[in-house]
């Protein structure tokens, strides 16, 4: 296979989504609070926590107050919702990867270094990124370097899977380049990634919040016209039996299923939930 024939966006997303759907056997009906045969009922809690309700039995959220810090690190488990037999309404979760996000300020910009790994079928899919963002409230993207690859069962990098890319945002124009191709998008709103949305919430979360942006998911898939609004309080029971109230923000927009960000009393995003794949703060 010629390296230039690899569709990096398909590599990053199609295999993951296909494996998740195959493992689950069905999509979770998160919008339904009750109904015959739906597999969802009101006793299992609010919809924002449903995709991780099995994982919560072992979850103890780390206490962090990052609002005044210019430099910090966040680590998340990536959790797969695997569903269960409809007759028993069982839901199970498996940790299939991790996300590590490091933030610092430098030379008038905000720098995020990200390593994201997802293990599926013996293949470890890796994203390594460094983004330089503007010092505005959304940390909107300015430019970035991206490296993606996967490793096989023996741990070595598969040479044909390795792709390096650079990107930039200038005015309304988004430019992404790698060996053999360059692509462009036109943005009507500030351009962000999910990794930087977390920092925005840490600093700006408020029940009166309402903001619109364009999303460049994994620095690869352009999804415009995203809205982020307050979505009330979600109460979750942790492994020690404590019930905590998490303030919930919902992101909706073109090309995505709803994403819910659940913040603790210090404004730190503890859980990010969305259908099949969710994140949980691990340290």
pLDDT tens for residues 239-268?
888 888 999 999 999 999 999 999 998 899
Q: Rounded to whole angstroms, how far apart are CA atoms 61 and 246? A: 11
Helix (H, G, I), strand (E, B) or coil at 102: strand
Residue 204 CB burial class (10 angstroms; 0-12, 13-18, ≥19) = middle
pLDDT of residue 90: 56
Sorted by where each begins, the domain ranges of the chain are: 3-281
pLDDT of residue 131: 96
Q: pLDDT grade, residue 45 (50/70/90)?
A: low
Is the predicted pLDDT of residue 69 greater than 70, yes or no?
A: yes
User: Hey, what are 169's tokens?
Assistant: 């945002």
Helix (H, G, I), strand (E, B) or coil at 196: helix
Going by C-alpha positions, the residue among 232, 231, 237, 233 that lies closest to residue 44 is 237
DSSP assignment of 228-246, as one string?
A: EEEEEEEEEE-TTS-EEEE
pLDDT mean across residues, the chain: 82
Is the predicted pLDDT of residue 84 greater than 90, yes or no?
A: no
pLDDT, mean of residues 172-199: 93
pLDDT of residue 242: 82
């Amino acid at each position: 296979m010629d390296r230039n024939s690899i569709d990096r966006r398909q590599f990053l997303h199609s295999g993951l989504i296909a494996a998740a759907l195959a493992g689950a056997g069905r999509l979770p009906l998160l919008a339904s609070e009750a109904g015959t045969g739906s597999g969802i009922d009101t006793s299992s809690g609010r919809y924002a926590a449903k995709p991780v309700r099995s994982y919560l039995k072992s979850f103890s959220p780390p206490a962090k107050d990052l609002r005044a810090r210019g430099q910090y690190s966040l680590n998340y488990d990536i959790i797969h919702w695997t569903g269960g037999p409809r007759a028993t309404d069982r839901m199970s979760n498996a940790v299939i990867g991790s996300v590590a996000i490091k933030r610092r300020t430098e030379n008038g910009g905000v720098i995020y270094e990200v390593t994201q790994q997802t293990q599926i079928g013996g293949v470890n899919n890796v994203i390594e990124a460094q983004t330089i963002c503007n010092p505005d409230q959304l940390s909107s993207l300015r430019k970035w370097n991206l490296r993606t690859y996967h490793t096989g069962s023996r741990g070595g990098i598969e040479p044909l899977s390795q792709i390096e890319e650079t990107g930039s945002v200038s005015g309304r124009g988004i430019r992404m380049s790698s060996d053999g191709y360059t692509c462009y998008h036109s943005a009507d709103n500030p351009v962000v990634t999910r990794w930087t949305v977390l920092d925005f919430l840490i600093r700006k979360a408020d029940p009166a919040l309402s903001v619109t942006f364009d999303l460049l998911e994994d620095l690869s898939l352009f999804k415009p016209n995203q809205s982020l609004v307050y979505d009330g309080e979600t109460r979750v029971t942790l492994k020690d039996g404590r019930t905590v109230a998490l303030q919930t923000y919902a992101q909706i927009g073109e090309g995505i299923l709803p994403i819910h960000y659940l913040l603790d009393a210090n404004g730190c995003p503890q859980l990010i939930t969305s259908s099949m794949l969710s994140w949980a703060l691990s340290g």
